Structure 1
């Protein structure tokens, strides 16, 4: 068994390589070439939780699970909100191949999936990016979106204004040649934005439909439980909605479930899965004036595909630590 720590996993799984890995595995999932079940969640002391996310990459011959803790307020202590590990098994022999740091995978794969959605749904001339939130996912979403669209301007919002300014300073190397500013309000951040990424820890709407311009694309990432949402119902109703997995969205996506419960949208409001779009089985953006929305929940197969890539690269480059098992 190979143990691959955070530093090694982060070194091997760059955003550049992760985007096509996510593109492939999402298509595989929607086409039945990969399997997964709903995540199992054990509530801890509020608002913390422990999650188990199993899956099977049929064509790769590997299966496994991600075990992760989610502590939304960990930033107060200087710790990441998401921590855990991915266990990878060979499906021919049942052998445990690797245990890979889960935080490194979560940080990159989540934004890489959003980049896949941005590339598939955002207008090709999208130049203004708004990021709501300043945590680890804000940094990775900045990098990811810069890789798939010609971004010339970035606006960042945080509930604590100083954090937005600090974020921009810390991302100076990534932002070379891009104008960046800290917004005083969400409305100011998203005004005329072509792409909006919501990566907050909020359980109540922070983004309202009246603030979003026609033709924008939104990656909604932060809320991952049925009672929680980052978007108001009017915005969801006005958007062409895509998800990473239909089953997950119908059980876990508050951004979809709450407007549904309110009667604002029908149960057919979800156009389909991102993988179906990549496979050419559904239509994406239908006009330049429409709003497209990708609701991301994070999937086990994304973690397994990333872990499998990291494992193969670690073996090839002789990275990680082999432990007799």
Structure 2
């Protein structure tokens, strides 16, 4: 078994490599060559923690395994980030464990790569302004990944806690783009591409805010009850997602579905756009990617980083 430690991931996995892995797994999912296993997520009754498993099998990339981990809200007391996870890979031919990989940074990279894939395929032609809703830890990864796939000229941003907007300003400066803090009404009117990455349980971006051709990557809603967008905005958009079953149950579309504003059949798979089996944006004014996060994404980036670590002699080999 190979072990790739969390401390080594940053020196191995790039946004470009994560994008390639996630684009390929979206395509495999749409071709029914890869599928996710049912998600397990439980409140364990200790340390206010949520713990669970996401897994699957990619028959095209031959990645089999799971990500184990969750959310520990008091981890700052231990000098750790709240999200903690490890990815375990298994040999699909024998069932033997083949790798254990630190999953914290990989989770951030694969989440950002997923929205970047949606931007590559669904952003309106000539998009110049990137709008960021949310300034938490994940926002920097999202902005960097978006800038890798599209030539934006400016970033505008909003956060429920304005004192955190420095992260967006610093990240924009790092990638060579001007940044301006704006209100949500202006963000919706001016941004050609919008990434929302918050932990909100109520709508932030309203239907009336969004003007003109726009693509929205809604990346924060991954739990029942979470919500970032006005259901009327979801209903107006042409909607794509990573996995439809998750989208309607824990993703952004759960609220529009519950209100009868859209039907499950109206939701498309991003992988079908990648494969060329769906026209994607077409004549839609607003497109939406409902990024719920699936286990296959974790397996894809973990398998990629193990291969890189083996080539560089960094992966530790242990007998079990």
Band of TM-score, shorter chain: over 0.9
CA gap of 1:160–1:320, structure 2 versus 1, over 3 A, is: same
Match of 2:244 in 1: 246
| Counterpart selection for 1:265 from 242, 249, 262 | 262
Distance, in Å, in 1 between the alignment partners of 2:64 and 2:189 is 44
* Local SS of the residue matching 1:313: helix
Distance, in Å, in 2 between the alignment partners of 1:73 and 1:113 is 28
Distance, in Å, in 2 between the alignment partners of 1:51 and 1:63 is 17
* Alpha-carbon contact 1:285-1:292 (below 8 Å) kept: yes
Alpha-carbon deviation of 1:134?
A: 1.1
Alpha-carbon deviation of 1:146?
A: 0.6
Alpha-carbon deviation of 1:250?
A: 2.7
Alpha-carbon deviation of 1:222?
A: 0.5
Q: TM-score, normalised by structure 1?
A: 0.92
Match of 2:276 in 1: 280
Distance, in Å, in 2 between the alignment partners of 1:206 and 1:47 is 26
1:294 has 2:285 as partner: no
* Local SS of the residue matching 1:283: coil
CA gap of 1:121–1:77, structure 2 versus 1, over 3 A, is: farther
Match of 1:317 in 2: 312
Match of 1:113 in 2: 114
Alpha-carbon deviation of 1:91?
A: 1.1
| Counterpart selection for 1:222 from 220, 244, 251 | 220
Distance, in Å, in 2 between the alignment partners of 1:47 and 1:197 is 29
Q: Quick check: 17-26 or 293-302, which moved more?
A: 17-26
CA RMSD of aligned residues (A): 2.1
CA gap of 1:13–1:74, structure 2 versus 1, over 3 A, is: same
* Alpha-carbon contact 1:61-1:92 (below 8 Å) kept: no
Distance, in Å, in 1 between the alignment partners of 2:257 and 2:73 is 26
Distance, in Å, in 1 between the alignment partners of 2:219 and 2:285 is 20
* Local SS of the residue matching 2:228: coil
Distance, in Å, in 2 between the alignment partners of 1:201 and 1:74 is 17
Match of 1:28 in 2: 28
Alpha-carbon deviation of 1:171?
A: 5.0
Which runs of no fewer than 5 residues in structure 1 stay unpaired? none
* Alpha-carbon contact 2:168-2:179 (below 8 Å) kept: no
| Counterpart selection for 2:253 from 256, 264, 267 | 256
Distance, in Å, in 1 between the alignment partners of 2:294 and 2:7 is 22
Distance, in Å, in 1 between the alignment partners of 2:219 and 2:149 is 18
Q: Can you list the C-alpha shifts for 1:144-192, whole angstroms capped at 9, x where unaligned?
A: 1111111111012122212102441355322x1x111223x32233331
Aligned length: 319
Please list every run of at least 4 consecutive aligned residues from structure 1 whose deviation after the TM superposition is greater than 4 angstroms.
44-48, 71-79
Q: TM-score, normalised by structure 2?
A: 0.93
* Local SS of the residue matching 1:196: strand
* Local SS of the residue matching 1:59: coil
* Alpha-carbon contact 1:89-1:95 (below 8 Å) kept: yes
* Alpha-carbon contact 1:72-1:201 (below 8 Å) kept: no
Which runs of no fewer than 5 residues in structure 2 stay unpaired? none
Q: Can you list the C-alpha shifts for 1:79-119, whole angstroms capped at 9, x where unaligned?
A: 43422010011111222111111111111011111111111
* Alpha-carbon contact 1:66-1:102 (below 8 Å) kept: yes
* Alpha-carbon contact 2:242-2:271 (below 8 Å) kept: yes
* Alpha-carbon contact 1:38-1:248 (below 8 Å) kept: no
Distance, in Å, in 1 between the alignment partners of 2:205 and 2:54 is 29
Match of 2:125 in 1: 124
* Local SS of the residue matching 1:25: helix
Distance, in Å, in 2 between the alignment partners of 1:74 and 1:157 is 26
